Chain A
Amino acid sequence: MGITFQDVAYTYQAGTPFESQALHDINLTIADQSFTAIIGHTGSGKSTLVQHLNALLKPTSGTVTIGDRQITPETNNKNLKPLRQKVGMVFQFPENQLFEETVAKDIAFGPMNFGMSATDAAKKAAEMLDLVGLPAELLERSPFDLSGGQMRRVAIAGVLAMAPEVLILDEPTAGLDPAGRREIMGMVTRLHEQQKLTVVLITHHMEDVANYADHVIVMEHGTVAKVGQPSEIFQDVEWLQKRQLGVPETTEFAARLQKRGFKFTRLPLTEVELAAALLPQLPREAVSQPHDE
């Protein structure tokens, strides 16, 4: 399911003395089955933007087209449920949304709101818990007994249980340890590849963008500053650094090597690409020698 923004603007508390415009003239397309990363400095409007993707916010002007549904400022709030089912949204620190007595009930809560029967929803909950990599014995535990990382996975399972076609994740790995980060990102990639989910990821972690995304949107002061593939976006190291965004460490390292005389047709994003680009440039002895020692 593709999503298109046409001249979208959004103003918080419009018509009051406290109004502030968060988005200006947004035009962008999120293609079906793409893995889109949205990056930008804190307060650049990323979170406001994604709340338009499932009509939690309606544009104050312009049109958002989600699949075959158009959201305009005049759209009323009735019948948004089918839309919300198709566009699953994982908010920042989603563990704060857990409330049921047991993990199973909490995961089943979403599907049941969309009309699934209790028995089907319970079956679904067990499936989803397995999908996010948690053992089945947690099903009957209280969500508040779990560790932070487990709670987050239960929360994500609760969103996945609604079988969305588009999955939006707002900094899903914030505050997690490196292992937790890898697990969550691995899970998201798996879903993207196996279930053909359209994924929209907000992150401050450029490595995640380089490793997983195929499309990047750079936000700045409530506008779209740049759009493209990660390999294009990360070429302009200075442009990004000026916006306090940075590039993957590998790319930064490569840029420094370039200043010392190494040549790259384009700056590599991952260690593998870097190694491949460096290998032909190294003197023969340097490559073979480590094996002799």
Chain B
Amino acid sequence: MNKLLFGRFIPGNSVIHRLDPRNKLLLSFYYIGIIFLANNWLTYLVLFLFTILAVRLSNIKMSFFIRGVRPLIWLILFTVLLQVFFTRGGTTYWSWGPIVLSQFGIVNGVYIFMRFVLIIFMSTLLTLTTPPLSLADAIEAILKPLRIVHFPVYEVALMLSIALRFVPTLMDETEKIMNAQRARGVDFGEGNIFQQMRAVVPLLIPLFVSSFNRAEDLATAMEARGYQGGEGRSKYRILTWRAADNWAVIAFVLLTGILIWLRA
């Protein structure tokens, strides 16, 4: 459980760390969009270099990003293999019934692989350099226009930031209860599927109960501190747009231009 890297934040003070989280979030989504512009070797090379540059700028070791890919490697390989063996076109090297190994298939497979890795790198970069609470703030800021259609932006933002805040607490709690039940002779992850499912009960029920208690305590504490709802509150953490954010946007515009120019 502790080995999970997804959603982990590594404190730092690089250019990437200091970018406005709203900007980072939007640019990450934008990046996923423009990755589909790439359709030949040159465009993929440009994207690759751009991503590596962004990773370098964050001052975080490459190994972190590679570790981010690891949990998804089977999904990636599965997709790549499907592409490789079921695409026809170009020179056919080998075939057996519906399964073919063709030139197009191999090229497509490599493209898909690159796409996966690049997207994972960029989203890992986002989560590694942005504290979860800033991300929640960014999501709130981005959702704000939806108030016109009566979308409860403040409530969603509050739930999001509370949820994020309690993820590590709940993980600790899970660990503690697991250990307590292990000490009482429960084997987690052993035996057949039914035994394993039954072993989860002594973990799940205490977790739910303590979450209910925690929610009740938190609600009381919030009310006692004068919380009456999202509307009309001032903000403590204020997001600021700096010069570097402009440069980041310019870099992405240039990247888009280059991709459109180079694509076949």
Contact = CB atoms under 8 A, between A and B. Distances in A.
Interface of A: 12-13, 16-18, 51, 54, 56, 81, 84-85, 87-89, 91-92, 94, 96-99, 109-110, 113-114, 144, 158-159, 162
Interface in B86-103: none
B202 A109 contact: yes
Interface string B174-186: 0011011111111
B107 to A, nearest CB: 36
B183 A88 contact: yes
Given A96-B177, A97-B206, A99-B201, A13 B182 contact: no
B-side interface mostly: helix
Contacts of B186: 113
Nearest to B176: A91
A56 B179 contact: yes
Contacts of A96: 173, 176-177, 180, 206, 209-210
Nearest to B3: A16
A-side interface mostly: mixed
A94 B180 CA distance: 8
B6 interface: no
Contacts of A98: 206
Given A17-B61, A96-B206, A99-B205, A113 B3 contact: no
Nearest to A155: B180
A246 to B, nearest CB: 27
Interface size class of B (residues with CB under 8 A): 20 to 34
Given A12-B2, A13-B2, A17-B64, A97 B185 contact: no
13 contacts: A16-B2, A16-B3, A17-B10, A17-B61, A91-B183, A96-B210, A97-B180, A97-B202, A98-B206, A99-B201, A109-B184, A110-B184, A159-B184
Of B64, B180, B181, the most chain A CB neighbours within 10 A belong to: B180
Nearest to A57: B179
Contacts of A159: 183-184
Interface in B195-212: 201-202, 205-206, 209-210
